[in-house]
Amino acid sequence: MRISAAAFALAIALTLVACSSGESDDKKSAAIAEEPEAAGPRAAGGAEAKLVILGSGTPIPEPDRSGPAVAVVAGGRAYLVDFGPGVVRRAEAAFRKGVDALDVRRIAIAFATHLHSDHTAGYADLILTPAVVGRHDTLRVFGPVGLRAMTLHLLAAYAADLEARRATGDDMSGYEVEVAEIPTPAALVEVYRDDNVTVRAFAASHGADGGALGYRFDAGGRSFVVSGDTTPTQALLDACAGCDVLLHEVYCERGLAEGPPSLQAYHRDHHTSAVQLGELASKAAPGLLAAYHVLGFGCTDAEIQAEIASRYAGRTVITADLDVL
């Protein structure tokens, strides 16, 4: 469903996007065979599919860590996962470092893991700012149930601004948003496909209203799994299963264990400790384990790395904004 800035109040039912396959398994296999298996940081301007960290942070407003947001870049297009605060400016920063697909005027597709504010506080920015500076394509956004209502409310909040732009003759096409809500899937399910990428969603375990999702991207012979916020799940293990890059949230076990009981109870029910992440990675066997959305609770990155390493011997990085994997 497309929500135009003028007619958002008339918006009607959404359609779950369940794309049919346009590409044979043979073609996918051939693409995989042609591409190197190794994963790891690469030059930002390269043509190979890659994962760009736009925001490595958490709800805590650390100046050097924007809110959770990443981009899979493949075939010259960017596919965002989440839009935490700072997402548009980090995309512009990546563009200026040579990732052409992150020219904000060209960002036209995004996938939300869940609707918590740290992952969505940049949504208005993502709808509005690229259009102000020249996006003409409709923004397509996929995410859990509730995304449509959030979109409508944001457009309503900016109704006066949108009307003023229309009145001055601006092309309003770049302000339109097409929303597809994804009910919590029982298994890994394809939600989007084009010539560059296949995107599958899986259920995360995060206690969020409307559900929480993780995503697997297959692009150019590489595979990227983004956990979103979650406790350890079998669904994520099934989604990764030897993926090239597993980007996963984490908290420091030692740090949380020193916190008040209510804080401990919440995080143990909604997030993944570094020790648990090590256990998870030992089963998922990614080419690279990358941590983001790191809740340190006073621990250093080295301590978190050590907790992971207590259960997992594979290559691990704790990401920073603008890292390219």
User: In whole angstroms, how large is the CA radius of gyration of the chain?
Assistant: 19
* H or E element that contains 120: helix 117-120
Site for Zn ion in 153-172 (CB under 5 A): none
Which of the ranges 7-15, 181-189, 229-237, 301-309 carries the binding residues for Zn ion, by CB under 5 A? Answer: 229-237
CB of 281 to Zn ion, least distance (A): 20
**Is 216 a binder of Zn ion (CB under 5 A)?**
no
Compute how many residues bind Zn ion; rule: CB under 5 A.
3
Rule CB under 5 A: say whether 229 interacts with Zn ion.
yes
* 253 counts as binding Zn ion under rule CB under 5 A: no
Determine the 3-state secondary structure of 296 from DSSP.
Answer: coil
Instruction: Find the binding residues for Zn ion in span 102-121 (CB under 5 A).
Output: 116, 118
Q: How far is the CB of 68 from Zn ion (least distance, A)?
A: 6
Q: Report if residue 218 touches Zn ion, rule: CB under 5 A.
A: no
- From the list 264, 245, 262, the residue with the least C-alpha distance to 253 is 264
Report the alpha-carbon distance of residue 198 to residue 23 in Å, rounded. Answer: 10
Task: Report in angstroms how near the CB of residue 196 gets to Zn ion at its nearest.
Answer: 27
Half-sphere exposure of 68 (CA within 13 A, CB side): 27
Q: Is 92 in the site for Zn ion (CB under 5 A)?
A: no
Q: Is 243 left (phi over 0), alpha (psi -120 to 50) or beta?
A: beta
**Is 77 a binder of Zn ion (CB under 5 A)?**
no
Burial readout 55-80 (b: 16 or more C-beta within 10 A, e: otherwise):
bbbbbeeeeebbbbbbbbbbeebbbb
Q: Which is nearer to Zn ion, 143 or 287 (CB)?
A: 143
Give the interface with Zn ion as residue ranges (CB under 5 A).
116, 118, 229
